[in-house]
Amino acid sequence: MQTSQNNTPILKSLLIISPFFFWGTAMVAMKGVIPHTTPFFLAGVRLLPAGVLVLIVAAMLKLPQPKTIKAWLWIAIFAVVDGAMFQGFLAEGLTRTGAGLGSVTIDSQPLAVTILSRWLFGEVIGLWGWLGLVIGISGISSIGFSDRLIYSVFQGDFTPIDFDILRLFDNGEWLMLLAALSMAVGTILIPYVSKHSDPVVATGWHMILGGIPLFVWSFWQESGQWNDLDVSDYLALGYATVFGSAIAYGVFFYLASKGNLTSLSALTFLTPVFALLFGNLLLGEVLSFIQTIGVCLTLVSIFLINQRENIDSLFVSVKEKLE
The residues, any chain, with a CB within 8 Å of residue 146's CB and separated by 6 or more, are 171
Tell me, yes or no, if the pTM score tops 0.85.
no
**Could you read off the pLDDT tens digit of each residue along the chain, which spans 323 residues?**
444 455 577 777 788 888 889 988 999 999 999 999 999 999 999 999 999 999 998 999 899 999 999 999 999 999 999 899 999 999 998 888 877 777 777 777 767 777 777 776 676 677 777 887 788 777 776 766 655 656 565 665 655 444 444 455 566 778 888 888 888 888 788 888 888 988 889 989 999 999 999 999 999 999 988 889 999 999 999 999 999 988 887 787 667 656 545 456 656 777 888 888 888 888 888 877 877 888 888 788 878 877 777 787 887 777 677 76
Tell me, yes or no, whether 13 lies in a domain.
no
- Is residue 86 assigned to a domain? yes
Domain count, the chain: 1
Query: 71 lies in which domain range?
Result: 26-124+172-223+230-285
Query: Is the residue at 65 inside a domain?
Result: yes
The contacts of residue 295 (CB under 8 Å, 6+ apart) are 100, 101, 104, 139, 143, 272, 276, 287
* Contact yes or no for 33/94 (Cβ under 8 A): no
223: alpha, beta or left, given left = phi > 0 and alpha = psi -120 to 50? beta
Q: 52 in a domain, yes or no?
A: yes
Residue 154 belongs to a domain: no
**134 assigned to some structural domain:** no
* 109 within domain boundaries: yes
Could you tell me if residue 275 is inside a domain?
yes
